[in-house]
């Protein structure tokens, strides 16, 4: 694979398109739906799609939207997958003076947590949901000992202040087991070329999948498509396991985010050379079907779509890991949106990469022969 296959020059998109993608990103990242508590975004997706295509859900909460292809013989089934859950927290304990102890949902970066605002969601026995604002607190630097200043705070030392003075008062508005997410709105940075948000992992994959799906609702492709919005990816790709078993696809394209390594203090030699604004990253490695991957890269080159290549030398930490080994095996590809500062509430995304990913996946699906084996692509 040549260097030209791996790198593409940066392109521009119209301001109107940039704003359109930002608005949808702001909507999708605005849903507070941590792992295991994905109802808010799930309901949005079902409502948006239910009158336009066949939509089903399963016991775990996966949403599956099906489009019938135009092929006349035995059509292949393509599964698209993007996970809707985000990292978050659960309330695990309330102290006697009303402070909350929390445990993580998914992989949290302990270094950034002190000083963050969080929203706690409390659902009472009547299914009424209240949102409670809190802050993850830390000792002021003035009160830290010299040893404490040198140490990283531990998860069990974190506490959330919700502005009450006793355990009894706290339990009037929250319960043990309530879930929480960062409190953050999506907004533009600097001159308005890139934006920052929480839950970019993986609402950016959801955005791409949703817009590709909506294109094919109006323009059916040769293959059957099942666009799957999976749950519980952040704790072990759990939603992808039953959904891919149910769908039993011939091939799959997983839409994810990946690390943009274009900021100070990190080694591109160690982590790969992926940047914002140069198109989606196409993964290569044993977790991904080599012909499917080459088919996608070839189309990107021929269509002049900016793209990058990233190496995954073992099972990825994405839904591709589970889907590939479903039933008798699934020819699986992984296409990811570059994103800075993953698993923080300041993730940074360039709409150029979203636009290029949408064009890439749309073009690839249009080129899929409806009844050809994936190995013959």
Residues annotated as catalytic are 233
The C-alpha atoms of residue 65 and residue 162 are separated, in whole angstroms, by 40
In order of 78, 155, 208, 282, 328, the CA distances from 249 in angstroms are 6, 40, 20, 20, 10
Nearest to 371 by CA among 69, 80, 64: 69
The C-alpha atoms of residue 115 and residue 138 are separated, in whole angstroms, by 7
Q: Positive or negative, the Cα torsion across 359, 279, 82, 328?
A: positive
The C-alpha atoms of residue 51 and residue 364 are separated, in whole angstroms, by 26
Q: Give the orientation angle of helix 290-303 with respect to helix 351-367, to 10 degrees.
A: 110
In order of 37, 76, 106, 233, 281, the CA distances from 323 in angstroms are 22, 16, 20, 12, 19
Please return the burial class of 47, using the count of CB atoms within 10 Å of its CB with bins 0-12, 13-18 and 19+: exposed
User: Residues 118, 237: contact at Cβ < 8 Å?
Assistant: no
Q: Are strands 77-83 and 251-259 parallel, antiparallel or unpaired?
A: parallel
User: Residues 244, 323: contact at Cβ < 8 Å?
Assistant: yes
Q: How many CB atoms lie within 10 A of CB 50?
A: 13
In the DSSP assignment, the letter for residue 144 is -
The C-alpha atoms of residue 119 and residue 86 are separated, in whole angstroms, by 14
User: Residues 41, 32: contact at Cβ < 8 Å?
Assistant: no
Contacts of 196 (CB under 8 A, 6+ apart): 186, 187, 188, 189, 346, 347, 348, 349
Nearest to 79 by CA among 320, 343, 352, 349: 320
Nearest to 258 by CA among 307, 214, 194: 307
């Amino acid at each position: 694979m040549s260097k030209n296959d791996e790198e593409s020059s940066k392109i521009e998109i119209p301001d109107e398109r940039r704003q359109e993608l930002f608005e949808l990103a702001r909507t999708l990242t605005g849903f507070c739906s941590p792992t295991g508590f994905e109802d808010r975004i799930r309901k949005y997706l079902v409502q948006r799609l239910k009158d336009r295509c066949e939509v089903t859900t399963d016991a775990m909460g996966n949403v599956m939207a099906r489009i019938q292809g135009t092929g006349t013989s035995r059509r292949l089934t393509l599964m698209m997958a993007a996970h809707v859950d985000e990292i978050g927290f659960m309330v695990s304990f309330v102290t006697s003076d009303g402070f909350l102890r929390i445990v993580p949902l998914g992989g949290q970066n302990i270094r950034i947590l002190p000083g963050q605002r969080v929203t706690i969601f409390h659902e009472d026995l009547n299914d009424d949901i209240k949102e409670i604002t809190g802050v993850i607190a830390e000792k002021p630097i003035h009160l830290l000992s010299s040893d404490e200043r040198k140490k990283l705070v531990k998860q069990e030392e974190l506490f959330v202040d919700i502005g009450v003075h006793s355990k009894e008062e706290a339990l009037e508005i929250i319960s043990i087991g309530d879930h929480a997410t960062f409190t953050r709105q999506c907004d533009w940075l600097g001159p308005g070329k890139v934006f920052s948000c929480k839950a970019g992992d993986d609402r950016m994959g959801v955005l791409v999948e949703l817009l590709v799906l909506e294109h094919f609702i109006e323009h059916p492709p040769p293959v059957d498509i099942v666009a799957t919005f999976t749950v519980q990816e952040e704790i072990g790709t759990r939603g992808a396991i039953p959904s891919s078993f149910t769908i039993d696809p011939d091939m799959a394209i997983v839409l994810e985010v990946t690390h943009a390594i274009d900021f100070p203090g990190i080694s591109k030699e160690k982590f790969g050379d992926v940047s914002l604004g140069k198109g989606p990253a196409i993964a290569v490695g044993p977790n991904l079907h080599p012909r499917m991957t080459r088919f996608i890269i070839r189309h990107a080159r021929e269509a002049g779509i900016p793209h990058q290549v990233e190496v995954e030398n073992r099972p990825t930490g994405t839904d591709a890991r589970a889907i590939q080994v479903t039933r008798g095996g699934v020819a699986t590809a992984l296409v990811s949106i570059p994103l800075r500062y993953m698993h923080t509430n300041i993730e940074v995304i360039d709409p150029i990469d979203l636009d290029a990913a949408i064009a890439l996946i749309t073009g690839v699906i249009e080129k899929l022969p409806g009844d050809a084996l994936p190995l013959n692509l």
